[in-house]
Amino acid sequence: MDLFSVPKGLSKSAIRSLPKEYFVPQVPQNNSEVEDAILEQNDCSVCLEHFKVGQVLICLPCKHRFHQECLIPWLESHGQCPYCRAKICRGEAHGQSSRNSLAQQENNDDLLAWLTIS
């Protein structure tokens, strides 16, 4: 890929395979959990709105979460997290041996992995 090429988006099946969760805000029970609650991502960096209890969120491998309806259009045209730009790629995971058998390669067709671009 050269410097001027546009990154390709993910396939519909790859997008469907991303984990989803219902948003439930963290309620701190002690001081250490207060710090975790402060660091918790409570808003969508695509639309900038706060998550509401029960909304469906998509979780990327980089651990960033987004409203499903905000993230899907982005992923259809981009292969990376809209927040940190960590790449989400299909096929062989980075660092995996290239000596995989054909059967293993076929099993990897739906594998999702992420790489941080620096």
Q: Give the pLDDT band of residue 88 (cuts 50, 70, 90).
A: confident
Question: For the chain, what's the residue count?
Answer: 118
Question: 17 or 89: whose pLDDT is higher?
Answer: 17
What's the pLDDT score for residue 36? 59
Q: Give the pLDDT band of residue 31 (cuts 50, 70, 90).
A: low
- CA 84 – CA 64 distance, rounded (Å): 8
Whether the predicted pLDDT of 111 surpasses 80? no
Provide the whole-model pTM: 0.62
- DSSP state for residue 20 in the 8-state scheme: E
Whether the predicted pLDDT of 81 surpasses 90? yes
- 86 phi and psi angles, rounded to 5 deg: -65, 130
Are the CB atoms for 117 and 85 separated by under 8 Å? yes
Domains of the chain listed by start with CATH number? 12-115 (3.30.40.10)
What's the pLDDT score for residue 2? 55
